[in-house]
Structure 1
Amino acid sequence: MSDAESDDGASTERTRAVVLDLLPNGRPDDDRPAHQKPPIAYVLGESQFQLRELTLTEDADISFGDRIQFDGEGIESVREVTHGDLSNAARSELEYAVEEIIDRDEARFVGFYNDAQPITLRLHQLNLLPGIGKKLRNSILDERKREPFDGFDDLEERVAGLHRPKEILVERLIEELRDDDLKYRIFVGRDPDEG
C-alpha cells in the first residue's frame, strides 16, 4: 500500500502533515500540573499548508520530522493555529518543511509556473512571487507558451533572470504563513486541485 492510500484504497494525501515540533509535556502556557498536560505536536499540512496543533495521546508514536495523518492513531484532537501560535522550534523548522514538501512534489509547484493566471487586469499570480516583476513575468509567460516547464532546472535555464525558482516559492509560502492579513494567497489554505 502506498503512502497516499488508506486500507480502502482512498487517497489520504490531503490529510498528510509534517511534524514541526513535539512538546511531550504540553504547552508551556498551560497552567495545569505537568502530569495533567497532554503532549502536543505542531504540524504543517502538505496539501494546503495548514498550521495545526495536535493534541496527542500519551502512547502516540509520533516524532519530530515525521509525516503523519491528521486523523491517524495517537491524535485526540486537531486545532488550527497561526504562525504566531507556533513554538520557536516549530517556526525555525518551517522553512525546511516547506522545502521538503516542494521537493517531494516538484511537478505540482512547477505546475504553478505553468498554470498561473491573471488575478486582475493589472495583477498576475506570478507577480505575487518575490522578485518577479512585469518583465520576468512576461518572459515566463512567453516561454511556457512555447512549451510547459518540466522542472525547476528547466525554468531556470529557459527564463533569463529567473534564479532559484524553488526558493522563490518557499519565500512566498513562508510569507503567506506568517502574514494573516495578505490580500492574495496562492498556496496557503487553497486546494491545489482547484487551481
Structure 2
Amino acid sequence: MTTTESGDTDADTSGADPGDVRQAVVLDHLPHGRADDDRPRHRKSPLAYALGERDFRLFELTLVDDAGISIGDRVVIGPTGEREAVDGFKQVTHEDLSNTAVGELEYAVEAIVEADEQRFVAFYNDAQPITLRLHQLNLLPGIGKKLRNNVLDQRKRGPFESFAEVEDRVSGLHRPKEVLIERILEELQDDDLKYKTFVGRNG
C-alpha cells in the first residue's frame, strides 16, 4: 500500500459524497518522521498515527508541512477534497504503532465511543447470533450465556437508549461501555482474531 488512498471504508474517496466526511483521531505526531527513517531531515515528511472513527482502522498519515496538529485532534482523512492537514495515508497494524500511539489508543477508543453513544448502544440492541452456539454478545469480555440471555430478554421489552439504561435493566451487566471498549481494543491488538465486530479487517 502507498501513502495515498488505502481503499479503506474509513477513508475511501471513490465516488464519495463530499458531505460524507471521514475523520480519525491522532494518536501520535512525528513532526520529523519516523526515527528509523535515515534520510536527511529535510527529505522526511511529518507523520502521525491515527485511529479511524468509523471502523477503528489504524493509519499512518503523511502530513502537510504546516499541519499544526496534536495528539487527540480529529483530522479529516476523506474525501480527498476535504482534507487539510493530511497529504496521504496507509493502513497499518497495532504492531506498527509508536509507543506513544499505543499508549493513547485506549483514550481514543473511549472518546469515539462516548462521542457517539447511540451508535454503540445499538450493538446491545442489534447483536445477532454468529453460529448456533456463539452470539455476538458473547464476544464481549465477561458476557456468558446468562448475561447474554438477560440482554436478549430485556431488549424484547424495548430498545436500550443509553449505556446507563443497559446497566439499569440488565442484571449483572455493570460496565456496558467499558466491556465494549475492552473488546474493541482486543480486536485492534490481535489482527488474527477470528471474529471482528467493531474493527475493520486490514487489507
Same fold, TM exceeding 0.5? yes
Task: Give % identity.
Answer: 66
Which runs of structure 2 are paired with 1:27-66 in the superposition (5 Å)?
27-66=34-73
Pick closer, same or farther for the CA change 1:11–1:185 going to 2, 3 Å. same
Amino acid at match of 1:44: L
Determine if the alignment matches structure 1 residue 106 to structure 2 residue 117. Answer: yes
User: TM-score, with normalisation over the residues of structure 1?
Assistant: 0.90
Amino acid at match of 1:59: D
Q: CA separation in 2, counterparts of 1:35 and 1:55?
A: 14
SS of the counterpart of 1:68?
strand
Amino acid at match of 1:145: K
Pick closer, same or farther for the CA change 1:34–1:9 going to 2, 3 Å. closer
Match of 1:165 among 145, 155, 176: 176
Determine if the alignment matches structure 1 residue 119 to structure 2 residue 119. Answer: no
Q: CA separation in 2, counterparts of 1:53 and 1:177?
A: 15
Deviates further, 151-160 or 63-72: 63-72
SS of the counterpart of 1:52?
strand
Match of 2:12 in 1: none
**Could you list the per-position Cα deviations for residues 13-72 of structure 1 after superposition, in whole angstroms to 9, with x for gaps in the alignment?**
xx1110111000100111112222111000000001010000112122322211111141
Match of 1:23 in 2: 30
Amino acid at match of 2:36: D
Amino acid at match of 2:62: T
SS of the counterpart of 1:96?
helix
Match of 1:3 in 2: none
What RMSD, in angstroms, separates the aligned Cα atoms of the two structures?
1.3
Match of 1:10 in 2: 19
Match of 2:99 in 1: 88
Residue ranges of structure 2 left out of the alignment (5+ in a row): 1-16
Q: Which has the higher contact order (CA 8 A, sep 6+)?
A: 2
Total equivalences in the alignment: 181
Q: CA separation in 1, counterparts of 2:169 and 2:86?
A: 46
User: TM-score, with normalisation over the residues of structure 2?
Assistant: 0.86
